[in-house]
Structure 1
Amino acid sequence: MFRIVYYQPCIPPNTGNAIRIAANTGCELHLIEPLGFTMTDTQVKRAGLDYHEMANVTVHPDLETAWTVLAPERVFAFTAHATRFYTDVDYRPGDVLLFGPEPTGLPDEVLSDTHITDQLRIPMLPDRRSMNLANATSVALYEAWRQNGFDGAV
């Protein structure tokens, strides 16, 4: 399945929602520290409901440690500044979908990391900064999963 990576997430409910997304799709969720909250934060727990035990969540101290663990073949960084749409990719199981924190997005040093295969964007109307992180994750992840026949779904 696919692997979701949140680089230094700050908003607890978005990570809680990502836990639900991961549990419902069979994806791994990887969080890169520092986090803007603790995993025991009430808002993370509330947004994740009872899905915490069903999700595969790993917290990494930094991005390099995550790359070592993930050993990714392909990493797609999502940024509002990309020229290619998220639908322009033929996704494969094992792909990493990398998202940055709200409200700043991925910093330049992450976007220029040698592990990044491509930068992708989700289209929006002009003069809009970004989508909600969990919503953007859902949009991209469900496209990748759709392309792969919703493997494992009922």
Structure 2
Amino acid sequence: MRLALHEPDIAGNVGTLIRTAACFGVGIDLIEPMGFPWSDRALARSGMDYARAADVARHEDWAAFAAQATGRIVLLTTSGAVALPDAAFRPDDVLLLGSEGAGVPAHVHDRADLRVAIPMRPGFRSLNVAVAGGIVLAEALRQTGWA
């Protein structure tokens, strides 16, 4: 299982998700361009020293990522077709998160093999991307045996 971030805008969220991936032993894909310069300093606040322990792969763009993706692409989206409690995950899924400001473009949304939404109270738009990634990753790992 892997996390993937499509054109993330905020270094702190990327650092938090790198730390999450390292702690749970999953890889993480960063699909560029990113809204900040990639550097150890940019990620130091949230990722701390966990970045060295994480399996981080950077991809020039969506096409480069999609060309090498194996397993299903599971998009976390506010307009998901399947509510998280009803989603069935597989060990080789790639959990894809969109950018904080724009989500993902239509062609990326259409490419997803499964679209998952986290149920929330009415009137609330979305969760922080790092929080959403952690919630869905924990459920996906629970279902697949925390391998």
Length-normalised TM-score, structure 1? 0.89
Aligned residue among 131, 142, 147 for 1:146: 142
Q: Distance in 2 between matches of 1:98 and 1:90?
A: 15
SS of the residue aligned with 1:87?
helix
Aligned residue among 128, 134, 139 for 2:130: 134
Aligned partner letter, 1:45: A
What corresponds to 1:60 in structure 2?
Answer: 59
Unaligned runs of 5+ in 2: none
Q: CA RMSD in A?
A: 1.3
Unaligned runs of 5+ in 1: none
What corresponds to 1:11 in structure 2?
Answer: 10
Aligned partner letter, 2:59: H
Q: Distance in 1 between matches of 2:120 and 2:66?
A: 30
Over the matched positions of the two proteins, sequence identity in percent amounts to 37
Length-normalised TM-score, structure 2? 0.93
SS of the residue aligned with 1:112?
helix
Does 1:119 find its partner at 2:118? Answer: no
Say whether the 8 Å CA contact 1:12–1:41 is kept in structure 2.
no
Deviation (angstroms), 1:95? 0.5
Aligned partner letter, 2:131: N
What corresponds to 2:73 in structure 1?
Answer: 75
Deviation (angstroms), 1:67? 1.8
Instruction: Tell me which stretches of 4 or more aligned residues in structure 1 moved more than 2 Å.
Output: none
What corresponds to 1:106 in structure 2?
Answer: 104
Q: Distance in 2 between matches of 1:41 and 1:50?
A: 9
Deviation (angstroms), 1:73? 2.7
Deviation (angstroms), 1:43? 4.1
Greater fraction helix: 2
